[in-house]
Amino acid sequence: MSASLSRGDKFVLLGLSVSELEAFAVASGQAAFRGRQIYDWLYTKGVKNIEAITVLPKVWRSYLKERGVQVGRLQEVRRLVALDETTKLLLGTNEGENVETVGIPTRDRLTVCVSSQIGCSMGCHFCATGKGGLLRSLATHEIVDQVISVREAMDRRPSHVVFMGMGEPLLNCEAVLSAIRCFNNDLGIGQRRITISTVGVVDMLPKLAELALDRLGRAQFTLAVSLHAPNQKLREQLIPTAWRYPIDALLNDCRHYFSITGRRVSFEYILLGELNDRLEHAEQLADLVGDFQSHINLIAYNPIEGEKFKRPTSSRIKAFQRVLERRGVAVSFRVSRGLDKSAACGQLRRQHVESH
Write down all domains in the chain, each with its CATH number in brackets. Answer: 11-70 (1.10.150.530), 75-355 (3.20.20.70)
pLDDT at 348: 60
Residue 334: its pLDDT value, please?
85
Listing DSSP states for 99-128 in one string gives: EEEEEEE-SS-EEEE--SEEE-SS--TT-S
Cα separation, 144 vs 248, whole angstroms: 34
pLDDT tens for residues 188-238?
999 999 999 999 999 999 999 999 999 999 999 999 999 999 999 999 999
How much is the pLDDT for 179?
Answer: 98
CB contact at 8 A, 216 and 184:
yes
Report the pLDDT averaged over residues 136-154. Answer: 98
- pLDDT at residue 274 in the model: 95
Strands 194-198 vs 160-163: parallel, antiparallel or unpaired: parallel
Please, which contacts does 330-335 make with residues 24 or more away whose CB atoms are closer than 8 Å? 330/294, 330/295, 330/296, 331/295, 331/296, 331/297, 331/298, 332/295, 332/296, 332/297, 332/298, 333/297, 333/298, 333/299, 333/300, 334/297, 334/298, 334/299
Q: Looking at residue 127, what is its pLDDT?
A: 87
Beta bridge partners of 262: none
Give me the pLDDT at residue 335, please. Answer: 80
pTM of the model: 0.92
Q: What is the mean pLDDT of residues 119-127?
A: 90
Query: In which band, very low, low, confident or very high, does the pLDDT at 351 lie, cut at 50, 70 and 90?
Result: low
Average pLDDT over residues 166-179: 97
pLDDT given at position 59: 97
Tell me, what's the pLDDT at 9? 57
Comparing 47-51, 130-134, 311-315, the range with the smallest average pLDDT is: 130-134
β-strands 75-81, 87-92 pairing: antiparallel
Mean pLDDT of 311-320: 96
Provide the pLDDT confidence category of residue 118 given band limits of 50, 70 and 90: very high
pLDDT at residue 300 is higher than 60? yes
pLDDT at 73: 98
Active-site residue, from 20, 274, 345, 354: 345
| 336 has a pLDDT exceeding 80 | no
Using pLDDT thresholds of 50, 70 and 90, give the confidence band for residue 338. low
Q: Give residue-wise pLDDT tens across range 68-111.
A: 999 999 999 999 999 999 999 999 999 999 999 999 999 999 99
Q: Is the pLDDT of residue 3 over 50?
A: no
Beta bridge partners of 197: 224
Would residue 345 show up in a list of annotated catalytic residues for this protein? yes
Structure confidence at residue 34 (pLDDT)? 98
* Stretch 133-137: mean pLDDT: 94
Q: Check pLDDT > 50 for residue 352.
A: no
Is 274 catalytic? The answer is no
Asked if pLDDT for residue 1 goes beyond 50, the answer is no
Query: Residues 34-80: pLDDT tens digits?
Result: 999 999 999 999 999 999 999 999 999 999 999 999 999 999 999 99
Q: What is the mean pLDDT of residues 154-177?
A: 97
Q: What is the pLDDT of residue 2?
A: 39
Looking at every residue in the chain, the average pLDDT score rounds to 92
> What average pLDDT does this structure show over 169-180?
98
Q: Which of 22, 100, 142, 268 is catalytic?
A: 100
